[in-house]
Amino acid sequence: MLYRENGQFKTSYAADQQIFPIAQDRIGILLLVAFAIVGVPLLADEYLFRAILIPFLILSLAAIGLNILVGYCGQISLGTGAFMAVGAYAAYNFFVRVDGMPVIVAILLGGVCSTLAGVVFGIPSLRIKGLYLAVATLAAQFFFDWAFLRINWFTNNSSSGTVSVADLSLFGIKIDGPLGKYYFCLGFVLVFALLAKNLVRGHIGREWMAMRDMDVAASVIGIRPVYAKLSAFAVSSFIVGVAGALWGFVHLGSWEPAAFNIDRSFQLLFMVIIGGLGSIMGSFFGAAFISVLPIFLSLVLPALGNLFGVTIGTALIAHTELMVFGGLIVFFLIVEPHGLARLWSIGKEKMRLWPFPH
């Protein structure tokens, strides 16, 4: 309905291959980014930043990372939390042990360590497929849970096992207020989203998808499974690691291994599946859905209770949340197994064909 594509012809391949070939889409995305940079700070209050926006951004980043592995390369991983943890703890150690270490560098180095871990635990994927691999990745989850709990070196021998970072700053500017943190995360997310998109639409992305869709055919056209899969693990866990570092440094400030336990892994997997496998945009949708839903429920359920004059105990709320959450997940998988991204693209097609049927 909103699309006017006449005259939008392409006279070069570069123009034809850009991320948003349609002008209306480019405008839309620019407006969105502009809103995120200018609009949101004007509207959001502290709670919104701390409880929703910042977690959403960081989890989107992690989801993008996971989506590269699961959605694009077709390698199931249940160990994402662990790689976030590696990122967080590695960054922490660089940060506290090397004095004068800039935050960004520390975070990126965290990502690098996570990459290494990812590659090591990705090696089995060369022989193992599907559910077997999924369970194998749990090994990483439990191993790192344990390691960061029991091996004090990682926690800089902090007595409580809890680690914390303070006074983050970027080029001398302090990142303490929620707004600063928001921008910090937003920056990371935008940059990495772009880089990730470039990768998946480049030839490495095609190699990943080829492995995912038909690995024999892929090898016959000369794609090396080793390289394709491990590079996916590497890129994926790098991004995930960075997200982990952000989660620790920016969102939590002080944390313990439980922050990255298996539930986190599942949560992220939900995000990519409900958001849409093999879609960068889907990662954002999924993150929004999964991270906002519980908050939404925790707000709505008591209200509902009061409506019927019942005061709902916190325990009951917690349980109802679990139920509704689980129920919605199932419902979603049944109605749209391909996730929100699919719904989005269908909607877009409808708009382009309007008023004709899809």
Partner 1 sequence: MAEHSNPSTPERGSNKVILDVNNISLSFGGVKALTDISFNVREHEIRAIIGPNGAGKSSMLNCINGVYTPQQGSITFRGQTFSHMSPRQVAEMGVARTFQNLALFKGMNVIDNIMSGRNLKMKSNLFLQALRIGPAAREEAEHREFVEHIIDFLEIQAFRKTPVGRLPYGLQKRVDLGRALAMEPSVLLLDEPMAGMNVEEKQDMCRFVLEVNEEFATTIVLIEHDMSVVMDISDRVVVLDYGKKIGDGTPDEVRQNPEVISAYLGTSH
Partner 2 sequence: MLTTFPRLMLDHAKARPDAAALREKSFGIWQTTTWAQLATLVRHLACGLAEAGLRRDDHVVVVGDNRPRLYATMLAVQSLGAVPIPLYQDAASTEFVFPINNADVGFAVVENQEQVDKLLEIRAQCPLLGRIWFDDPRGLRKYDEPGLASLDALIESGAARAAHDPGFFDAEVAKLQAADVATMFFTSGTTGNPKGVVHTHGSLLDRARAGAKFDKLTAHEEVLAYMPLAWVGQNTFSYAQWLACGYIVNCPESAATITIDLKEVGPTYYFAPPRIFEGLLTSVMIRMEDASRVKKWLFHTCMAVARRVGPARLDGKPVALLDRIKLALGDWAIYGPLRNSMGLSRVRVAYTAGEAIGPDLFTFFRSIGINLKQLYGSTETAVLVCLQPDNAVFADTVGVPIDGVEIKLTATGEILVKSAGLLKEYYKNPVATAEVLSKDGWYHTGDAGFIDATGQLKIIDRAKDIGRIMGGPNDGAMFAPKYVENKLKFFPHIKEAVVFGDKRSTVCAFINIDVEAVGNWAERRNLPYAGYTDLAQKPEVYALIRECIEKVNADLAGDNLLVGSQIHRFLILHKELDADDGEMTRTRKVKRGYINEKYQVLVEALYDGLSEQFIATAVKFEDGRSGSVSATLKLDDAKTFPAMKKAA
Partner 3 sequence: MGPFLETLIGGLMSGMLYSLVALGFVLIFKASGVFNFAQGAMVLFAALAMARFAEWFPALLGFDNKVLANVLAFVAAMAVMVAVAWLIERLVLSKLVNQEGITLLMATLGVTYFLDGFGQTLFGSEIYKIDIGLPKDPMFLFDKVFEGGLLVNKEDLYAAVIAAALVIALSAFFQYTSTGRALRAVADDHQAAQSIGIPLNRIWVIVWAVAGFVALVAGMIWGSKLGVQFSLSLVALKALPVVILGGLTSVPGAIIGGLVIGVGEKLSEVFIGPMLGGGIEIWFGYVLVLFVLLVRPQGLFGEKIIDRV
Residues that bind partner 2 (CB under 8 A): 1, 3-13, 15-16, 353-357
Any contact of residue 76 with partner 3 (CB under 8 A)? Answer: yes
Whose Cβ is closer to partner 1: residue 221's or residue 315's? Answer: 221
**225: which residues sit within 8 A by CB, 6+ positions away?**
126, 211, 215, 218, 219
Phi, psi at 311, each rounded to 5°? -95, 120
Candidates 145, 189, 196, 280: give the one binding partner 3 (CB under 8 A): 145
Beta bridge partners of residue 173, listed in sequence order:
170
| Cα 263 from Cα 265, distance rounded (Å) | 5
Residues 250-289 as x/- pattern, contact with partner 3 by CB under 8 A = ------------x---x--xx--x----------------
Any contact of residue 131 with partner 3 (CB under 8 A)? Answer: yes
Closest approach, Cβ 92 to partner 3, in A, equals 19
Sequence letter at residue 52:
I
Any contact of residue 206 with partner 1 (CB under 8 A)? Answer: yes
Helix spans in the chain (H): 13-17, 23-34, 40-43, 46-47, 54-67, 80-97, 103-122, 130-150, 178-201, 203-213, 215-220, 225-246, 262-275, 280-307, 314-335, 339-353
Residues 217-236 as x/- pattern, contact with partner 3 by CB under 8 A = x-------------------
Closest approach, Cβ 135 to partner 3, in A, equals 5
Question: Are 288 and 271 contacting, i.e. CB atoms less than 8 angstroms apart?
Answer: no
List the single partner that 273 binds among partner 2, partner 3, partner 1, none, CB under 5 to 8 Å by kind. partner 3
By rule CB under 8 A, what count of residues binds partner 3? 48
Any contact of residue 150 with partner 3 (CB under 8 A)? Answer: yes
Q: Is 116 exposed, middle or buried (0-12, 13-18, 19+ CB in 10 A)?
A: middle
Closest approach, Cβ 73 to partner 2, in A, equals 28
Any contact of residue 134 with partner 3 (CB under 8 A)? Answer: yes
Candidates 1, 38, 220, 334: give the one binding partner 1 (CB under 8 A): 220
Whose Cβ is closer to partner 2: residue 174's or residue 358's? Answer: 358
List the single partner that 172 binds among partner 2, partner 1, partner 3, none, CB under 5 to 8 Å by kind. none
The H or E element spanning position 170 is: strand 169-170
List the single partner that 138 binds among partner 3, partner 2, partner 1, none, CB under 5 to 8 Å by kind. partner 3
Candidates 26, 224, 319, 358: give the one binding partner 1 (CB under 8 A): 224
The SS3 assignment for 274 reads: helix
Specify the DSSP class assigned to residue 168: -
Distances (CA, A) of 182 to 38, 58, 253: 12, 10, 14
Question: Are 98 and 256 contacting, i.e. CB atoms less than 8 angstroms apart?
Answer: no
Closest approach, Cβ 248 to partner 1, in A, equals 24
Question: Are 286 and 272 contacting, i.e. CB atoms less than 8 angstroms apart?
Answer: yes
Maximum C-alpha span of the chain: 67
DSSP string covering 96-159, please?
HHSTT--HHHHHHHHHHHHHHHHHHHHGGGGT--HHHHHHHHHHHHHHHHHHHHH-GGGGTT-T
Closest approach, Cβ 144 to partner 1, in A, equals 25
Whose Cβ is closer to partner 2: residue 11's or residue 157's? Answer: 11
Closest approach, Cβ 72 to partner 2, in A, equals 24
Closest approach, Cβ 23 to partner 2, in A, equals 12
| Cα 234 from Cα 241, distance rounded (Å) | 10
| Site for partner 3, rule CB under 8 A | 70, 76, 123-124, 127-132, 134-136, 138-139, 142-143, 145-146, 149-151, 215-217, 262, 266, 269-270, 273, 315-316, 318-330, 333-334, 337
| Site for partner 1, rule CB under 8 A | 12-14, 16-17, 195-196, 198-199, 202-204, 206-207, 209-210, 212-214, 216-224, 231, 235, 278
